[in-house]
Amino acid sequence: MQKSRVGAALGSIPLVLLALTHLWLFRACVSGIGSVPPPGGCPNPPLPTLGLLVLSFLELTRGSRVRGALALAVIAMPSLLEIIAEVIN
C-alpha cells in the first residue's frame, strides 16, 4: 500500500512540472495584454503545452485516467480564458 502511494506520487511529478511551466508561460503572455508582445514572445503552442498533450495521451491510454484528465484540464483553462476575454471585449 505504501509503495503504491509513492509510485502514484512519482508518476504525478511530470504532470505537476509541465502544468506549472504551462501556466507560468500563459501568465507571462497575458501580463503583456496592454502592450504589443514581441515577435515570438508567445509561441503558439508553447512546448509545455505539447508536452502536456503527449503526457495526457500517455496517461489516458496506459496510465491513470485522472492524471490524463488533469493534464487536459490544464491545457483547456488558458484557451477557455482567451475565448471568454474575446467575447467580453
C-alpha cell at 35: 502592450
How many domains does the chain contain in total? 1
C-alpha cell at 45: 503552442
Contacts of 67 (CB under 8 A, 6+ apart): 11, 12, 15, 55, 59
Q: State pLDDT tens for residues 11-53.
A: 788 888 888 887 777 777 766 654 545 555 565 666 777 788 8
Q: Is the pLDDT of residue 6 over 50?
A: yes
Contact, 55 vs 14, CB < 8 A?
yes
**Domain assignment of residue 63, given as a range:** 2-88
C-alpha cell at 20: 506549472
Per the prediction, the chain carries an average pLDDT of: 75
Dihedral angle sign, alpha carbons of residues 1, 70, 22, 33 = negative
Instruction: Give pLDDT, residue 38.
Output: 55
User: From the CA atom positions of the chain, what is the Rg in Å?
Assistant: 16
| Maximal CA-CA distance, the chain | 53
Q: Residue 74: what residue type?
A: V
